[in-house]
C-alpha cells in the first residue's frame, strides 16, 4: 500500500461553518446576499483595518469589477505582473483592455518597481497615453515591494489594484496586504488561506466605491420599481451560504497563518545545507509573508536534480508538489502582449516548485516531505 497522499494545500474547516449555514437555512436566507454576507464583509473589513469590503463570487470577479470601477475601457492598457496566475490578467481582457506585462524582481518574486516605471514611460512614448491601472500581485503570500510600487504609481497618477488573492494576512511594514491599493482583490477558492468553497472579495477605499461595486455585482439595476438598466451589470455577488462558510473560516484565519508559517520554517530548517536549494523568504523585517505556499528554487548544477525531476520523485512517493506559475508573457494566449522584463520570472519558473503547505499538515507529514527531498538530492550522489 502506498503511503497516504500529501496534498499541496487543502481546505481546513473550523467546525463553526455549519452553524452559520444552518442559520441561513433556518431563516430561509438561501440567496446571493443576506446576514452572513454582511457579517463576513464586516469581519474582513475589520481585519483589513476598516476598509469597506464587497463579497463576490470569485477573486476573478473582484478584479473585473475593480477594473470597471477604475474606468478601464476598450482600448486602454493595464499593467499586470507577469509572474502570476492567469486570473490576475484575464479580467483586463474581459474589460476590452490590453494587458502589458512586467517582470518580477529577484527578492520578492513580485513586480519590479524599476521595470514598472520603464514600462509606463515606454507605453506613454508608444501609445501617447498612460496605462489605466497597475495590478501588482503578492504571489505565494509574499508582499510585493508595495511602497516603491505605490511611489511609481503616484508619480504617474495611475491607480493600483492589488491582487491579494494569495496573501490574506501577509503584512508589509505592519500593514495588511489588500489595504494598500485604491482597490484590492481577495480569493476564497478552496486552496487559499480561507475558503468559502469558491468566492472572493473586492476591498475598497471608501463606502461609495463599495456601493458602486455592489451595484455592478447585482446586474446594475436602476433605482426604479421595475427592472431598468442604464448600464451593463454582472451577477457577481457571494451567496449567503458561501458567506456562512467564510464567517466560520474567519475564526481560524490566524491559526491557518501561524501553521503555514510554522510549516515554512520547518522546511527551511530541515533542508538548510542541501546544495542547490533556496527558498522564497521575507527579504527584510518589513516583509511578513503568510507563507501561503512554501516555494523552493532548485539549481540542477548543484542539486543534481531539476525541479521537475524532483516533482516526479515526490509524485512517486504520493506527495503533491506544483511548478511555479508560468509567467503570462510565456502563455500562448498572451503572445503578442507587450512585456518588460529581464528574465527573472522565466528563471524562477524553470527552477521552482511549491511544496505541500496546507494548515492540516502534521509535523510528521512535513518530515515525510523533507525525507523524500533529501532522498532525491542524495540519489544524485552529489551530497
Nearest to 313, CA basis, from 365, 377, 357, 367? 377
- What is the Cα–Cα distance from 240 to 244, expressed in whole angstroms? 6
Q: Minimal CB distance to ligand PLP: which residue?
A: 59
How many residues appear in the chain?
383
Q: Quick one: DSSP state of residue 305? A: S
If one asks whether residue 163 binds ligand PLP (CB under 6 A), the answer comes out as yes
If one asks whether residue 358 binds ligand PLP (CB under 6 A), the answer comes out as no
If one asks whether residue 162 binds ligand PLP (CB under 6 A), the answer comes out as no
Question: Using CB under 6 A, which of 9, 36, 43, 60 touches ligand PLP?
Answer: 60
Q: What residues have CB less than 8 Å from 223, skipping those under 6 apart? A: none
**Helix (H), strand (E) counts: the chain:** 13, 15
If one asks whether residue 87 binds ligand PLP (CB under 6 A), the answer comes out as yes
Q: Which span (54-62, 102-110, 225-233, 242-250) binds ligand PLP, by CB under 6 A? A: 54-62
- Mask for 94-133, x = binds ligand PLP (CB under 6 A): ----------------------------------------
Tell me how far, at minimum, the Cβ of 2 lies from ligand PLP, in Å. 29
Nearest to 178, CA basis, from 338, 43, 45? 45
- What is the Cα–Cα distance from 188 to 267, expressed in whole angstroms? 25
Question: Using CB under 6 A, which of 97, 165, 217, 242 touches ligand PLP?
Answer: 165
If one asks whether residue 189 binds ligand PLP (CB under 6 A), the answer comes out as yes
**Size of interface with ligand PLP, in residues (CB under 6 A):** 14
Residue 225 · residue 207 · CB < 8 Å: no
Question: Using CB under 6 A, which of 58, 195, 282, 289 touches ligand PLP?
Answer: 58
**Distances from the Cα of 72 to the Cα of 65, 66, 238, 326, 345, angstroms:** 10, 9, 23, 26, 27
Question: Using CB under 6 A, which of 34, 178, 200, 276 touches ligand PLP?
Answer: 200
Tell me how far, at minimum, the Cβ of 231 lies from ligand PLP, in Å. 23
Q: Which span (67-75, 81-89, 344-352, 360-368) binds ligand PLP, by CB under 6 A? A: 81-89
| Residue 169 backbone class (left: φ over 0; alpha: ψ -120 to 50; beta: rest) | left
Q: How many CB atoms lie within 10 A of CB 198?
A: 16
**Binding-site ranges for ligand PLP (CB under 6 A):** 58-60, 84-85, 87-88, 137, 163, 165-166, 187, 189, 200
Amino acid at each position: 500500500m502506498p503511503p497516504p497522499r500529501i496534498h499541496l494545500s487543502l481546505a481546513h474547516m473550523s467546525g463553526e461553518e455549519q452553524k452559520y449555514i444552518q442559520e441561513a437555512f433556518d431563516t430561509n436566507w438561501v440567496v446571493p446576499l443576506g446576514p452572513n454576507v454582511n457579517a463576513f464583509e464586516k469581519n474582513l473589513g475589520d481585519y483589513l483595518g476598516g476598509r469597506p469590503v464587497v463579497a463576490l463570487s470569485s477573486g476573478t470577479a473582484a478584479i473585473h469589477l475593480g477594473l470597471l470601477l477604475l474606468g478601464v475601457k476598450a482600448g486602454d492598457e493595464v499593467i499586470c505582473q507577469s509572474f502570476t496566475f492567469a486570473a490576475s490578467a484575464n479580467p483586463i481582457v474581459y474589460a476590452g483592455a490590453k494587458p502589458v506585462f512586467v517582470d518580477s524582481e529577484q527578492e520578492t518574486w513580485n513586480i519590479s518597481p524599476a521595470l514598472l516605471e520603464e514600462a509606463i514611460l515606454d507605453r506613454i512614448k508608444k501609445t501617447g497615453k498612460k496605462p489605466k491601472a497597475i495590478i501588482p500581485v503578492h504571489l505565494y503570500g509574499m508582499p510585493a515591494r508595495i511602497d516603491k510600487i505605490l511611489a511609481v504609481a503616484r508619480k504617474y497618477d495611475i491607480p493600483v489594484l492589488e491582487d491579494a488573492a494569495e496573501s490574506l494576512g501577509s503584512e508589509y511594514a505592519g500593514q495588511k496586504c489588500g489595504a494598500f491599493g485604491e482597490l484590492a482583490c481577495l480569493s476564497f477558492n478552496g486552496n487559499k488561506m480561507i475558503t468559502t468553497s469558491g468566492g472572493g472579495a473586492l476591498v475598497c477605499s471608501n463606502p461609495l466605491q463599495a456601493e458602486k461595486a455592489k451595484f455592478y455585482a447585482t446586474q446594475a439595476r436602476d433605482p426604479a420599481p421595475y427592472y431598468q438598466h442604464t448600464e451593463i451589470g454582472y451577477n457577481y455577488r457571494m451567496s449567503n451560504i458561501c458567506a456562512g462558510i467564510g464567517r466560520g473560516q474567519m475564526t481560524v484565519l490566524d491559526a491557518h497563518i501561524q501553521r503555514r508559517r510554522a510549516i515554512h520554517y520547518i522546511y527551511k530548517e530541515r533542508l538548510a545545507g542541501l546544495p542547490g536549494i533556496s527558498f522564497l523568504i521575507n527579504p527584510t523585517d518589513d516583509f511578513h509573508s503568510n507563507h501561503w505556499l512554501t516555494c523552493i528554487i532548485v539549481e540542477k548544477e548543484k542539486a543534481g536534480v531539476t525541479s521537475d525531476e524532483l516533482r516526479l520523485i515526490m509524485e512517486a512517493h504520493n506527495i503533491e508538489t506544483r511548478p511555479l506559475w508560468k509567467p503570462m508573457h510565456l502563455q500562448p494566449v498572451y503572445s503578442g502582449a507587450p512585456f518588460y522584463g529581464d528574465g527573472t520570472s522565466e528563471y524562477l519558473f524553470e527552477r521552482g516548485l511549491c511544496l505541500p503547505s496546507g494548515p492540516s499538515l502534521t509535523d510528521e507529514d512535513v518530515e515525510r516531505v523533507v525525507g523524500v527531498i533529501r532522498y532525491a538530492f542524495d540519489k544524485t550522489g552529489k551530497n
